[in-house]
Amino acid sequence: MENKRIEEITNELKNDIIKCNDKNTLENIRIKYLGKKGLITGLLKQLGELSPEQRKEFGKAVNILKEEALKIIENKKEELFKREKEELYKKESIDVTLGGYSLFSGNLHPLTKVCKNIIEIFLGLGFSVETGPELELDKYNFKDLNFPDNHPARDMHDTFYINNSILMRTHTSPVQIRAMKKSKPPLKFIVPGKVFRCDSDLSHSPVFHQVEGFWVDEKVTFADLKGILTIFLRKLFEKNLNLRFRPSFFPFTEPSAEVDIECVLCNGNGCNVCKKTGWLEILGCGMIHTNVLKAVNYDTEKYQGFAFGLGIERITMLKHSINNIRLFYENDIRFLKQF
């Protein structure tokens, strides 16, 4: 009879557990079976009324029942706990594909980025950075750079004047004069900066940026100039470019050359950007003119050097396929955020 009772309780417990869906019910179930007045506790209390043999046998069965009940309840508890956590996670789950916070952000101007890039390359080649004023003396911008007064070479630069002797520098080259006046060779500098010319169209802006470079020492040669520029341009465009040096004329260098690179857009095969020539004019350079060295009282028998100048806009336009120089100065965010 008692065994039957155990079986009944076992079945009832299993039924209760199956139906149980929350912690409170489970606690009630625990109390119903294992509480002070619980069914299993009740069975244990009955043991005293039995004969020793029955007690031994029945006692063992009840204890097994009790342990099993504990285990069933504990399992259920764990199951409920797990389910509860899962529900919580489900509730708290998010759409990770929605956008993040939108604060506001910025970026360096593409010209600044390219300028930094150029500076880095030259720092690595042992050149230091020098700067100079944007309002400049006619003397430093022209005369000391071997542009005599009333010489047609001055027509090469459309100049903004502040007064008769002060102008907005038309190139970064006056910094050569300033640097050479300040110190003695060896000098190895690059000069990034803003320059101004009264000229405005698709490829000319009245304000633009140049990087000047110069190296004055005892044995600097034209072949060295070709070497530095070859290393620089190949690094800048990350390409093993071919270069072409064409004789040209700048008042402050002699011999002077214009440097073309193999067109980076068509690999020298000829396209609209290089006007089917396969070459892109990229910078001007030459050996510093003896008149310039004389203007700063250098011994021209002892010292010689080279100088070059390049337009940052031109390089940036080539690097990023930009077709209109005005985009740099309009500052439309849709343009700025692309770099």
Partner 1 sequence: MKALISWLKDFVDIELSVDELADKLTNAGLEVEGINYLGKKFNNIIVGKIEKLNKHPESDNLFVCLVDIGNNIKKSIICSATNLFEGALVPVILSGSALPDGKEIKTITYKNVISEGMLCSKEELGLAEFSTGIFILPTNLKIGDTLEKALKIDDAVFEISITPNRPDCLSIIGIAREIAAITGQKLKKKKIKLNEIDEPAEKYIQIEIKNFEKCPRYIGKLIKNIKIKESPFWMQYRIEACGMRAINNIVDITNYVLLEFGQPLHSFDYDLIDEKKIIVRTAKENEEIITLDNNKRILRSEDLVIADANKSVAIAGIMGGSETEVSAKTKNILLESAYFQPATIRKTSKYLNLSSEASYRFERGTDIINLKFVADYAAQLIAELGEGQLCKGEVDIYKSLPAPQKIELNTKKVKNFLGVNIPEENVIKNLELLEFQVEKRDEKIIATVPSHRVDIENDIDLIEEIARIYGFDKINWQRPVCDLTYGWLNDYDKLFFSIKDYLAKYFYEVITYSFISPIEYKLISRKNDLLNFYYDGEILEIKNPLSIETSLLRPSFLFNLLNTVKLNINMKNNNLAFFETGKIFGQISRKSKYANEFINKDIIEFTSEENLPYENDFIGCIISEPLFTENWIKTTIENNFFLLKMIIEELLKNHHFKGIKFMPQNFEYFQPGQSAAILLNEQLVGVIGKIHPDIIKYYDISDKTFFAELNFTHLFKLYKIESNKYNEISRYPSVRRDIAIIIKEEIIFQKIKEIIDKLNLPLLENYYVIDVYKGSPIPEGYKNIAIAFIYRSKEKTLTEEDINETHQKIFNELVKQLEAKTR
Angle at 292 between CA 170 and CA 214, to 5 degrees: 70
Q: Which residues inside 266-285 make contact with partner 1, applying CB under 8 A?
A: none
User: If we measure between CA atoms, which residue out of 190, 163, 176, 208 comes closest to residue 312?
Assistant: 208
Q: Is 125 a binder of partner 1 (CB under 8 A)?
A: yes
Q: Minimal distance in Å, beta carbon 267 to partner 1? A: 19
Helix pair angle (2-19, 52-92), 10° resolution: 0
Can residue 247 be called a binding residue for partner 1 (CB under 8 A)?
A: yes
Site for partner 1, residues 278 to 317, rule: CB under 8 A: 287, 289-290, 304
Q: Does 13 bind partner 1 (CB under 8 A)?
A: no
220 near partner 1, judged by CB under 8 A? yes
Strands 187-196 and 128-129, sheet pairing? parallel
**Distance, first Cα to last Cα, the chain:** 88
Stretch (H or E) spanning 333: helix 333-336
Beta carbon of residue 332, minimum distance to partner 1 (angstroms, whole number): 6
Determine, following the binding rule CB under 8 A, whether residue 151 of this chain makes contact with partner 1: yes
Member of 188, 210, 274, 283 binding partner 1 (CB under 8 A)? 188
Distance separating alpha carbons of residues 267 and 270, to the nearest angstrom: 8
Q: Which residues 33-72 are close enough to bind partner 1 by CB under 8 A?
A: none
The yes or no reply on residue 333 touching partner 1 (CB under 8 A) is: yes
- Contact with partner 1 (CB under 8 A) among 3, 84, 227, 299: 227
Can you tell me the distance from the alpha carbon of 262 to that of 16, in angstroms, rounded to the nearest whole number? 86
Number of residues that bind partner 1 (CB under 8 A): 89
Query: Burial, 18: exposed, middle or buried (Cβ in 10 Å; 0-12, 13-18, 19+)?
Result: exposed
Q: Which of 52, 201, 223, 321 binds partner 1 (CB under 8 A)?
A: 223
Which span (39-47, 69-77, 261-269, 323-331) binds partner 1, by CB under 8 A?
A: 323-331
Task: Return the closest-CA partner of residue 303 out of 312, 314, 292, 311.
Answer: 292
CB closer to partner 1, 48 vs 106: 106
Site string for partner 1, 99-118 (x = CB under 8 A): x-xxxxxxxxx-xx---x--
Token pair for 336: 């700025």
